[in-house]
Amino acid sequence: MYDVNKSEPELDQTETKIAARKVQVFYGANQAIKDVDIDIQDKTVTSFIGPSGCGKSTFLRCLNRMNDTIDICRVEGEIRLDGQDIYAPSVDPVQLRAKVGMVFQKPNPFPKSIYDNVAYGPKIHGMARVKADLDAVVETALRDAGLWEEAKDRLDTPGTGLSGGQQQRLCIARAVATRPEVLLMDEPCSALDPIATAQVEELIDELRQNYAVVIVTHSMQQAARVSQRTAFFHLGDLVEYGDTDTIFTNPQDHRTESYVTGRIG
């Protein structure tokens, strides 16, 4: 059922990283997600699109169990990361979130220095025992996020003092610093100007080499630009999921067609 094959060392582009089956999410009595089945592939950018309130962010937050922090939220069904059910009692959501990093809609750096922002994750997970290791981790993460050149001379200045686009890249650096396997991005560019957006999109494309990236976006152009796979959500249903090209040029469902051509949403 799942395309998980641990014995094969070479990961090909189509290997399933996350497999979700019959996922239902309830906020109290309201059902936000209805029976979603989806296979998210490794080393691929998958975008979730759909009108506001369609459940795409809710579903994204199921993938690293961020919904656990909401009291009235209940998740049913099965989500497997590399074959491991992430809602199994043996799985600690805190450890899961180190494996499945997240970048939020609004840049939210900690009110600490740039260095401390990036070093926080590795520190709490004991990934670097000595200062030199930590320095290396911070540098790698900032390089991965394309922020190293701009930030290397001001690592001890507040992260909140950066520009919006830089702050968002700092948040990406913070998320990749723990060496996650999946990177979730909840509308990462909605608070950024076009130039900063272009930088982040370029970055997302580079991150694809090492991570499975899932991005929620309201911009169909962005989905078309950065993602290889696209999922269209509507009123809690996963209406259509496939290659981005297919979704935008030859959608199978009339709702998808209406949305991508701008008639609904």
Partner 1 sequence: MTDATARGFDWASSENDANLRKRKRSQLWLQSLGIGAISIAFAMLFLLVGSLISTGYHAFTQTHLELEVTLDPDLIDADNPNSGDYRQILTDTMQVQFPDVADDRAELRKLTSILSNGAQFTIRDRVVANPDLIGETITVKVPVSDDYDQLNKGLIDPDTPEANRRLKDDEIAAFNQLNEAGVVTKPLNWALLTNADSRFPEQAGLKGAIIGSAYALLVCFLLSFPVGIGAAIYLEEFAPKNRISDLIEININNLAAVPSVVFGLLGLAVFIGWFGMPRSVPFVGGMTLALMTLPTIIIATRAAIKAVPPSIREAALGVGASKQQVVFGHVLPLAMPGILTGTIIGLAQALGETAPLLLIGMNAFITSAPETPFDSATALPTQIYIWADSPERGFVSRTSAAILVLLTFLITMNAIAIFLRHKFERKW
Instruction: State which amino acid sits at residue 193.
Output: D
Q: Which is nearer to partner 1, 66 or 247 (CB)?
A: 66
> Do 121 and 98 contact (CB within 8 A), yes or no?
yes
CA distances, 38 to each of 23, 57, 61, 102, 163 (Å): 9, 15, 15, 19, 36
Q: Which is nearer to partner 1, 65 or 225 (CB)?
A: 65
Q: Which is nearer to partner 1, 98 or 147 (CB)?
A: 98
Interface with partner 1 (CB under 8 A): 64, 66, 69, 71, 94-99, 101-104, 106, 108-112, 120-121, 124-125, 158, 160, 171, 174-175, 177-178
Q: CA–CA separation, 204 vs 219, rounded Å?
A: 15
Give me the least distance between CB of 133 and partner 1, in Å please.
Answer: 17
> Do 58 and 50 contact (CB within 8 A), yes or no?
no
Give me the least distance between CB of 180 and partner 1, in Å please.
Answer: 9
Strand intervals (E) in 44-187: 45-49, 73-81, 84-85, 100-103, 182-186
Give me the least distance between CB of 127 and partner 1, in Å please.
Answer: 11
Q: Which is nearer to partner 1, 178 or 244 (CB)?
A: 178
Exposure string for 82-111, b = 16+ CB within 10 A, e = fewer = beeebbeeeeeeeebbbbbbbbbeebebee
Q: Which is nearer to partner 1, 178 or 222 (CB)?
A: 178
Give me the least distance between CB of 210 and partner 1, in Å please.
Answer: 17
Q: Which is nearer to partner 1, 174 or 234 (CB)?
A: 174
Query: Could you tell me the end-to-end alpha-carbon distance of the chain, in angstroms, rounded to an integer?
Result: 34
Residue 233: phi and psi, rounded to 5, are: -105, 140
Give me the least distance between CB of 99 and partner 1, in Å please.
Answer: 8
**Closest listed residue to residue 20, CA positions, set 73, 86, 88:** 86
| Beta strands at 182-186 and 45-49: parallel, antiparallel or unpaired | unpaired
Give me the least distance between CB of 220 and partner 1, in Å please.
Answer: 26
